Amino acid sequence: MNQEQVIQLLSPEGERVTNPEYTCSLNGEEIFALYRDMTIIRRICTESTSLQRQGQLALWAPIRGQEAAQIGAGRALAPNDFSFPSYREHGIAWCRGIPPENMLRLFRAVSNGGWDPNKYHHSVPAIVLGNQVLNAVGYAMGIQRDGAEEAAVAFFGDGASSQGDVLESFVWAASFNAPVVFFCQNNQWGISTPSSVQMKVPLYKRAAGFGFPGIRVDGNDVLAVYEVTKHALENARAGGGPTLIEAFTYRMGAHTTSDDPTRYRIDAEVEIWNHRDPIERIKALLVRAYGVKNSQFEDVTTEADEIAMKLRRDVLAMDRPDPITMFDHAYADEHPLIEEGRRELIELGIGGLNR
């Protein structure tokens, strides 16, 4: 990591670092708000992991370690920008205003999506690696045709970076100068596949070959992620074209609750990244530079606990959907096979009983 150009505004110890290109534009209150976001999303994540362990969720994809990358990018978005997530972007969803219980509808296995993407300007999760990146570029081409000052953002990981769709996205975005930001969270692991198998050249350097800027940012430094993303978005909205941001971070937990990382990586590596914890880092800055008191941090912890408890209640109240709903929105218009299936479920007494 050290041999590469990495944008950093905050050291792992919480010391401010100066950078010739990027300066921190946030005041103490705004930085504290980022701390709050990161603490809450981590709490949502631990609660969700517990819910899965207790059999209340089918699956959970933890984000521990990636809070700065997600909150920094999520808070840089303007309301009218449109974000295209994969399945681990809970922090982005939080920043878009999506209620936590909606994020969990997918993992509770009561929905394939979970929220109205048009309402929050945040698309539904794409689980097939890299598909959403092309969709984001297409959306950006629509922005161009509308003459709007907006941007699309594609979120993906180092795992998806080997997908043809991601590389085709780079070609399209470059050729059409599309207002899109490619935000890759390089968390080092695609389940058990290390990023060394995905790339021989650091990911951000790929952008140069496609003809647009690529930037590596310390993904555990929320201030740097925020500024780099904000700058890339402003550039895209102003017609400057795409940017690839590689947020260099680490997946502290398992790929999902179905995974066992002890089979393929050593504790010592995890321990190194423990010292780079994104929340501890910003907390150290807030104490040292802004005099934030313990009680203020405790208030956030209490608030996060309350959000987690509400989330637990909401999840437990999520009932199995009426089976008849499987036919809803399969098509926009009438379809004979949909009518046939619906009729059969009703006749068998399986679904549609309360309609």
Binding site for other proteins (CB under 8 A): 82, 84, 111-113, 116-119, 123-124, 126, 128, 131, 133-146, 152, 164-165, 168-169, 171-172, 175, 328-333, 335-337
**CB-based burial, 60-69: b 16+ in 10 Å, e otherwise:** bbbbbbbbbb
Minimum CB distance to other proteins, residue 133 (Å): 8
**Dihedral of CA 71/74/78/79: which sign?**
negative
Minimum CB distance to other proteins, residue 269 (Å): 33
Rounded to whole angstroms, the Cα distance separating 115 from 124 reads 7
Q: Are 248 and 218 in contact (CB under 8 A)?
A: yes
Q: Are 56 and 108 in contact (CB under 8 A)?
A: yes
- DSSP designation for 321: P
Q: Which residues are catalytic?
A: 251, 255, 264
Q: Which is nearer to other proteins, 7 or 152 (CB)?
A: 152
Rounded to whole angstroms, the Cα distance separating 203 from 184 reads 9
Q: Which is nearer to other proteins, 180 or 222 (CB)?
A: 180
CA 28 to chain centre: 24
Q: Which is nearer to other proteins, 119 or 293 (CB)?
A: 119
Minimum CB distance to other proteins, residue 234 (Å): 20
Q: Which is nearer to other proteins, 6 or 140 (CB)?
A: 140
Rounded to the nearest 5 degrees, what angle is found at the Cα of 234, between the Cα atoms of 1 and 150? 125
Rounded to whole angstroms, the Cα distance separating 48 from 65 reads 15
- DSSP designation for 287: H
For residue 46, list its beta bridge partners: none
Using only the alpha carbons of the chain, give its radius of gyration. 21
Minimum CB distance to other proteins, residue 148 (Å): 9
Minimum CB distance to other proteins, residue 154 (Å): 9
Q: Which is nearer to other proteins, 86 or 249 (CB)?
A: 86
Nearest Cα to Cα of residue 210 among 133, 95, 302: 133
Minimum CB distance to other proteins, residue 123 (Å): 7
In degrees rounded to 5, what are phi and psi of residue 271? Answer: -65, -40
Q: Which is nearer to other proteins, 19 or 144 (CB)?
A: 144
Minimum CB distance to other proteins, residue 259 (Å): 22
Rounded to whole angstroms, the Cα distance separating 211 from 121 reads 28
- What is the secondary structure of 306-320 as a DSSP string? HHHHHHHHHHHT-PP
Nearest Cα to Cα of residue 251 among 53, 12, 70: 70
Residue type, position 18, single letter: T
Assigned token pair, 6: 């990495």
Rounded to whole angstroms, the Cα distance separating 93 from 97 reads 7
